[in-house]
Structure formats: structure tokens, C-alpha cells
Structure 1
Amino acid sequence: MKRTFLLFLIVIPVWLVSCSDSKKKTTNNTNNNQLLGYAEVLNACLIRDACDVMPLGYISPCVTSHYEQTALENQQAIWNEIYSCVLAAEGNCTTVKQCFGNGALPVTCDPSTNKGRCEGDVRYWCDSFNRQMYAMNCRDSGMTCVMGDDGNPQCSLNTCTEGEYEPLCDGDKQRVCANGYINTTDCTVMGLPCTLLQTEENVFQPFCMGEGAQCDPAEYEGTCSGNLKTDCSGLGVVQQVDCSQLPGNKTCVMTVNGPSCNAAGTECELGEEDCLDDFTARVCLDGTYFLVNCTELGFTRCTGRGAQLDIGAHCTR
């Protein structure tokens, strides 16, 4: 894609109203719309895994995805409500499973024949790994449930038709039409603004990118200045990101591929997790070990998985 010029936008905050149904068991009324912290999400992921809801080999990806991929897709508030419900269940696995079923226990499903459905704002999808029909309320992130062109239900602002929908920057959220529905990307999760770029086809497209001078990605030498990362984007624009403002605990580190926002901690590496003793799960997040006593979550011990019981750290009964 050839870069012609940038159209800079006045950033207008968009407040997405998150509604809740007082009868819906997946809503935790004590949450007050506050995002959960690292330790709380870690606890929720351990509980979810212990109750065999989308069980995990390792716990850390569950935590990091909540602040990265889920937030990037504008769905963090949805999972925030689900995990608040999980934490309030105090280790009762029946209640935990209801948190993932819109107040009812999830039922078995075959993803090859049943991809899920929409019931109002609630998205029901069939998990391909443990073949359970789970639910989430799209309204918690200010969206509704729509069916994609591929037959899968999705949380989105609305359906759309490619070629008719005009891509845009909604504040710092990128909105484009794909698979029959509006796809949202929150650029702030990457520490970048949303900017409209005019292509050589004279079409404006939104991108998560900086607004600096032109540069040549092949020649530009990126730098770290404290937590500030400066590099050249693939579209040929100098961009700066304050790594300390990204989700988790990040700092700027020079790598063989240039500057990168990496874990600020040095105690451990991502993916390192085990049982410190019979009761304590030890999980590495952004270079720092987090310790959780499984008995405090309502379970009896910590164990690994696999033939040697050495895969991950899992709370069990």
C-alpha cells in the first residue's frame, strides 16, 4: 500500500454505556464497572480452569489475553463481568459454570453442526475444545450480538456490508466491516491513536499508527529512551509508544529486531509456572512471579497436568 498523506483527526471520546440485567447471574453488582486487576484476573483464570470451563494448559495466557487481545477487540468489559461473577462464586463450580452460561449451566454441543446463536444481546458460542455452549452478554461492552457471514455469532456494534460501510476512526477505535459485521480495534491498547490514511485508490482506511514524520522501515533505527519506544511503522511513519502505559508491566527493551515493549520484571520468563508447594500456584506475569494459595480460592491443592504432573499450575480438589 502506497502512503499518500495522513488525515489527522480531532479525538472525540466515545463513552460506551454498559448495561446490566439485575436478573442475570453473570452480572456482579459489586463491580461498579471497575476493571479487574492482574491478581483478580489471575484468580478468576485459576478458578475457571479448576472448574473445567475452557481448561488451560498454562494459566498466564488467560491473564494476558484479558488485557491484550480481549481489550484490543473491545470485549474486556464483557469478560470483566464474567470474571467478577466467577470471583463471587467462592469456588462453587456449579455457580462458576453458570457465569459462563448466562445464568444457566452450559450444555454440550458439536461445533461442526452448531456454531452458536444470538438471543438478543447475548452471544452463545460452541467452544471447539471442550464442546460446551458458552454465553456472554455483548451489551456489557456496549455492543449487541450479530451473526457473521460465516455463521458464527459475534459481539459487534451492528451488521454491515463490505463496500457499503465506510471504515472510520471512532475516537481511537478503528471500525471496519469484515465478515458481515463491524469489527472494532481499540488502538489505545497498543499505545497508538487511530489515524485515517488515504490509499492510492483514493480511499480512506483507519489504522492504529503514530502521526510522526515519514520514514523508511528498512533504514530507520529505532530507539529506547527510558520507557519510550520510537520506531518506524510498516506504513512508513515514525511512531512513539510509552511502554509503561501498555497493559501489564512493560518497559522498552532493545532486541535484535529493534525496540520492543517487553516485560519490565526480570524474576522469570512468560510461561514459567508451577506449584511452589502442595497448595501454592506460582505464575509468571510480565517478569514477576504471582503466588496464589489454591485453598483461598475454595480448592484443596495445586498440581501440574500431564503424565508427569509438570505442566502448569492448576488448582484442584
Structure 2
Amino acid sequence: MAFYVAGAAIAGAGPSPKSARGALAVLFFHAGVYIANDAVDALLDRTEARRARDLVASGEVSSKSAGLMSGGMISAGTLVALANGVLAAGTYLLAVICLMAYNFFGKCCPFPPVMDVIQGFGWGGLTVLGAENARFEPWPTVLMTLGVVVYITLINGFHGALRDYRNDSAHHVRTTATFFLGEASAKRRTEPTPIYIAYGLMLHAAQAVLVISAVMLAGQAIPRAVIVAAALTELVTMSLFSVAVLRFAENDRTWRLGIADVVLGPAAMLMVVWIRSGLLIYCVILIFYTTIWAFSKTLRSQVRRMIARGA
């Protein structure tokens, strides 16, 4: 939803029935593509302790039922997007195609970073969908969309891939981590190679340039505080990422740095809301966004694991 809100803010779209319909379509999109991912990856997820108890992985909901539910969600989202016009529906369907391509081919592609980029364009499509709610601003929209693409490429190809590296390697799954690091070995610890680190840092730098540029072009007479805040946020996220990869260890500390990097990226993107609607509205949206993260299954399961270790 953060990507959609950023696109809508760039276009200057305020609360309206059209914006609300777009947000509803995004919710259907989010649910549909994730349920589809659970259905496609059910067998692999059963081998990962963190996901083995999920509804589809555990068999409580069959993959066929999940697939039907996903199709229903995406169909509903398409109809809602169509109410905003043919262009909105086309943008929505292109985003769906990108995510479905990743779901079905993301773990068997000979060059996995390509699939990370395709997934990025799927999520970036939500930024374009938001920008179509009002006056379309080409340059800031394109820059922010590319910023989202690079962000997703980084998160999926680095944080997510490293998190699942050992299990994916054990089951001969093709991901960006296994592509750069090769097969995992029980005799050696996981450690990003210099080329993999350079790849991640390059993506992070590109994300920072694209997002800051989009923020600077998002309106007339941009408050200097917004530009400074966006630059500082990107600097902090890059610093956290650098610490995480240069001093990488398979422990909770590195995981916490990774989560901070994941959460702070959209915080910079959402600063276009600050430009359009003021600091208070930006803070409200940011609190809402971080609260959703705080109660996510991923974060809660990791916190429980950390508590268990401490005990």
C-alpha cells in the first residue's frame, strides 16, 4: 500500500472515491498474489520451520483451494480497478502478470536477479496505479516507480534470499543468494561474497538516487526539510545495510539490521506525502505503516524465536 500512496501523493490525489477504489484494488492485489505464492511454494514451505505451520504449507488449506481464492481476489481487484478506467485496469493486470511470473518462475530461472526485477516492476505498478488517480506527473512517477523496482530487487535478492539461503540451497532452489554464493555447506558459515556485497550496495545507491530525485521533483518549492529528511533516511538505510553485509552473521543482530533497512526504505518514498499533505499526515501514515509491520507474522515469529533463545 505504501507504493500506491506514494504514487497518489506524487499526482496530488487527495481522498476521493477513485483513490478509495484504487486502494481497495491494491488490497485485493496484495492478498491475491501472496496467496498464489503460498500455493505455488507449498512443498518448499513445508521444509522451512518458519513457514511450515502456515495454512497452505501445513495442508489445512489445499493448494487448489488457495489457487481458487487467489483467482477470486485478483478478479475482484481487476473489476474494482476497471471502475477507475481501462488504463487503471491495464496497469493492475500488468502488475499481476509480473508477480505471477515471479511466483511460478522465480525459483527456477537460470539468472535469478532477472526475476527479482520482474517482481519489482509488479510492485512498481502500484505506484503508477496511484499516480493515475489525478494529474499524471511523468518524471517523478517514473523515478519513484524505478525506486520501488530497485527496492524490491534489493529486498528480495538480498534480505529475503539470504534469510532462506540454507533451506533453498538444501532443496536446490535457484535464488539470487544461491546464484552468487553457490551451494551452502554445513562446514562453513554463510558469508556474502565481495561481488554479492557490491551488487547489493549498487542497488542501494541506485534506490537512494531514484527516490531522492523523485521527492525533489514531486512539486513546486519543495521544503528543504523534506529533501534533508529523505537524504538522511536513505543514508541511514544504506549504513544499516552496509553494517549488515560487511559484518554479516546468521544471528538476530543482523536480522534486526535487515528489518530496519526494509522498513525505512518506504519511509523515504512516502515523504512525497509530506510535500503534498504536510508533516502531520505523513507521520500518521508512517505510524500506520510501521504498526502493520510490527504486528506482521514475520516479525512476531522472529521475536518469539529471540525470546526462546534468551530463555
The TM-score normalised by the length of structure 2 is: 0.30
Larger Rg: 1
Q: Looking at both structures, which has the greater relative contact order when contacts are Cα pairs under 8 Å and sequence separation is at least 6? A: 2
The TM-score normalised by the length of structure 1 is: 0.30
